[in-house]
Structure formats: structure tokens, C-alpha cells
Amino acid sequence: MPQLRITQLKSEIGIKPDQKATLKALGLHRIRHAVTKNDSPQIRGMLKKVLHLVAVEETK
């Protein structure tokens, strides 16, 4: 199953509370923190909400 490597690039200071909750649900805690998640429609939807704060790359 393909996986996504998600890295937080920008701070969560000053963003909407729902976007902050999405970062927390993805497991991101600070700038340059990276997590690996399985590629699924739920994760893609979460990423769409915070795409301006993170970088995403596909891995095998």
C-alpha cells in the first residue's frame, strides 16, 4: 500500500481551530516534524484542509 510522508512546514500559530485540530489528528506537533501515513481518502481529505502548512511526498 502506498504511503505518504507528511512534513509540517509552517507554524500553527494564528490558524483556525479546525486546522489546528487536523494537524494534531495527523500527528504533527512542530515545524519540520514528519510522519508517515497510509494513503487513504480520509488522510487525503485532512491534507487538503492543511495543504498550505505541510509538504507531502509519496513513498512505497
Q: pLDDT tens, 1-57?
A: 899 999 999 999 999 999 999 999 999 999 999 999 999 999 999 999 999 999 999
Domain range for 52: 3-59
Query: Which cell goes with 25?
Result: 489528528
Instruction: List strands edge to edge, sheet with 54-59.
Output: 34-38, 3-8, 54-59
* Alpha-carbon radius of gyration of the chain: 11
Q: Residue 23's domain is classified under what CATH number?
A: 3.30.1390.20
Count of domains observed in the chain: 1
Q: How big, in percent rounded to 5, are the helix, strand and coil portions of the chain?
A: 30, 30, 40
For the whole prediction, is pTM greater than 0.75?
yes
